[in-house]
């Protein structure tokens, strides 16, 4: 795409950036001087809290409502981000859902939901973002260490979707390489967020490092992958889990 000199380069778009890992990544990228757009599904209050925090530090941010199961909403979010800030340099695909259930009780509607968000939604977000991305841009997906092994009954479908993301990233690296766009996948283990708040003690007991990760640690890795220093890394999945799947 052509660069409009009236617009600011370095723009980041974080799909699923209203809380937890996504919020931490959005704030980290904003602190580096990037205008940041972030999407949310149903919590405008959380999204606006992230935007306000970024603006309080002198950054520029925009919250956009977009369900990652809705391809049209994803495409519209990309267009809104570009209209406000200019061509994308970084896209982080963090949106995802987890639904656990043993095989015998697993509803097909839940299978369809997880595939729609965790696989189809990831592909659509990458496709839409890449179309509006500057040459030499960065795409980062947030997968899961369950792509290697979950070890938990009922996690099979979630693990399957995250393994699909890792494969997708590896193969799309070839599609994007002619434009010098890199794509990499972060595979976190247990991270302290509102989702894991009720299970922290159990997670800590199972962890080889006797702790869970922090959203800021994932954000730091995302920051590196978005930087010039990571320009020779593409198609890679990096596990960040304190040794869970060793």
In the residue annotation, 144 being an active-site residue is answered as: yes
Alpha carbon distance 180, 195 (integer Å): 36
pLDDT of 29: 98
Distance CA(38)–CA(81), nearest Å, equals: 8
Listed residue (216, 66, 246) closest to 145, CA to CA: 246
Given the residues 40, 68, 162, 237, the one annotated as active site: 162
Quick one: 3 exposed, middle or buried, by C-beta within 10 A (0-12, 13-18, 19+)? exposed
**Tokens found for residue 132:** 């509006």
Instruction: Give the active site residue among 24, 46, 68, 144.
Output: 144
pLDDT in tens, 177-212: 999 999 999 999 999 988 787 888 888 998 999 999
Give every CB contact of residue 83 below 8 A, 6+ residues apart in sequence.
none
Active site residue 98: no
Mean pLDDT of all residues in 160-171: 97
Q: What is the pLDDT of residues 125-150, one digit of tens each?
A: 999 999 999 999 999 999 999 999 88
Q: Is residue 5 predicted with pLDDT exceeding 80?
A: no
Residue 8: pLDDT band (50, 70, 90) is: very low
Q: Assess whether pLDDT exceeds 60 at residue 4.
A: no
Cβ pair 50, 61 in contact under 8 A: yes
Catalytic residue from among 40, 46, 68, 158: 158
Domain boundaries, the chain: 11-239
Task: Say what percent of the chain tops pLDDT 70.
Answer: 96
Give the pLDDT band (50/70/90) at residue 6: very low
- Look at residue 90 and tell me whether its pLDDT is greater than 80: yes
CB atoms within 10 A of CB 93: 29
Q: Report pLDDT for 88.
A: 98
Query: What is the 8-class DSSP label of residue 92?
Result: E
Mean pLDDT, to the nearest integer, of 4-33? 86
What is the tens place of the pLDDT at every residue in 49-88? Answer: 999 999 999 999 999 999 999 999 999 999 999 999 999 9
pLDDT of residue 234: 98
Q: Give yes or no for a contact between 194 and 49, defined as CB atoms under 8 angstroms apart.
A: no
Helix (H) or strand (E) holding 208: none
Under 8 Å CB-to-CB from 71, ≥6 apart: which residues?
120, 121, 124
What pLDDT, on the 0 to 100 scale, is given for residue 96? 87
CATH architecture of 11-239: 3-Layer(aba) Sandwich (3.40)
pLDDT digits (tens, 9 = 90+) for 225-238: 999 999 999 999 99
Closest CA to 37 of 95, 82, 81: 81
């Amino acid at each position: 795409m052509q660069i409009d000199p009236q617009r600011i380069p370095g723009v980041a778009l974080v799909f699923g950036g209203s809380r937890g890992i996504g919020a931490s990544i959005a704030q980290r990228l904003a602190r580096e001087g990037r205008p940041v757009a972030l999407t949310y599904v149903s919590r405008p209050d959380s999204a606006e809290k992230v935007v306000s925090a970024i603006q309080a530090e002198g950054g520029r941010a925009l919250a956009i409502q977009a369900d990652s199961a809705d391809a049209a909403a994803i495409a519209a979010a990309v267009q809104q981000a570009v209209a406000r800030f200019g061509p994308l340099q970084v896209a982080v695909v963090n949106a995802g859902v987890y639904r656990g259930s043993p095989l015998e009780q697993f509803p097909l509607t839940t299978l369809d939901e997880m595939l729609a968000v965790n696989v189809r939604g990831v592909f659509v977000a990458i496709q839409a973002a890449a179309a509006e991305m500057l040459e030499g841009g960065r795409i980062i997906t947030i997968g899961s260490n369950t792509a290697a092994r979950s070890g938990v009954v009922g996690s099979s479908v979630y693990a399957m979707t995250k393994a699909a993301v890792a494969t997708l990233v590896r193969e799309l690296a070839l599609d994007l390489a002619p434009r010098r766009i890199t794509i990499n996948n972060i595979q976190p283990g247990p991270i302290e967020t509102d989702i894991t708040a009720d299970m922290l003690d159990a997670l800590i007991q199972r962890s080889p490092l006797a702790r869970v990760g922090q959203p800021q640690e994932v954000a730091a890795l995302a920051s590196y992958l978005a930087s010039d220093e990571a320009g020779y890394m593409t198609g890679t999945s990096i596990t960040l889990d304190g040794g869970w799947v060793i």
